[in-house]
Amino acid sequence: MNSGMYAALSGSMVGQERLDVLTNNLANASTAGFKKDRLSFESILGGVKNPSQKTGSLTDAPVMSGVSFATDYSAGALKYTGNPLDVALDGDGFFVVNTPEGKAYTRQGNFHLDASGKLINAGGYEVLAGGGPVTIKGGTVVIDSKGGIVVDGNQVGTLDVVDFQKPYPLQKTGGVMFTLDGQGAVGQPAANTAVKQGVIEESNVNTIWEMTQMVESNRYYESCTKVMQGFDNMASKAANELGKL
């Protein structure tokens, strides 16, 4: 393949992936606890060793060394709701929920009760307190800064809030939930993190910045497409006109 065509094709593919990531970020800008994603890639110029080939092998074509997704775990703004079952974390860490696949971790704290009184998250999964589910039955619910849940003056549990060494060994499994990426990582009780009642953490998506990046990515994608069309026209012209000589 023509090296110029290859470079343009690689660029358009990456541009499309970046647009997908930005679109997903914007779609979740109003989702509580959502953490935006980023796409990073590197391009190796022609004439250098291609890591994907055998040692000593060279290539004249640009080589995409890889595309990787990364999640930005920075905190979102705290929004007051007044709902006693809405909680947010002021500091590092994650709430723990129980899913059919095992434990998952989230910053989304807009909890509610199911028909039996169990505390569940927006996805319907049990919120863990003391390693297990917690049932809340009564009138006044108070959740203190340590995650302790007090119902009508009686403590019924303490929310599990855990943290991990950075970079976080987590992978996103849903819009707002994460699971451990690999073996060996163990969550520890989050230190210096306060639980806030009656507030939720908003997404950390900056809509203006994301839209600016989307416009830039869209123009980049269009430029790569035009370059490919140009090379295709050149190839067609060469085949048709040189063939007449």
Per-residue pLDDT tens over the stretch 50-96: 444 554 444 544 555 456 778 999 999 999 999 999 999 999 999 99
Q: Dihedral of the CA atoms 37, 205, 25, 11 (nearest 10)?
A: -60
Q: What is the pLDDT of residues 121-159, one digit of tens each?
A: 999 999 999 999 999 998 899 999 999 999 999 999 999
Angle between helices 207-242 and 3-27 (to 10 degrees): 150
Give the total residue count for the chain.
245
- CB-based contacts of 126: which residues, under 8 Å, 6+ apart? 97, 98, 118, 119, 120, 133
Residue 2 has pLDDT above 80, yes or no: no
Q: 167 preceded by cis ω (within 30°)?
A: yes
Q: What is the pLDDT of residues 3-62, one digit of tens each?
A: 555 555 565 666 677 888 899 999 999 999 999 998 766 554 444 444 445 544 445 445
The C-alpha atoms of residue 150 and residue 166 are separated, in whole angstroms, by 32
Please name the helix (run of DSSP H) or strand (run of DSSP E) that holds residue 230, with its range, or none.
Answer: helix 207-242
Is 0.85 topped by the overall pTM?
A: no
Q: How many CA atoms lie within 13 A of 150 on its CB side?
A: 10
How would residue 175 be classed by pLDDT, with cut points 50, 70 and 90? confident
- Spatial distance between the Cα atoms of 47 and 49, rounded to a whole number of angstroms: 7
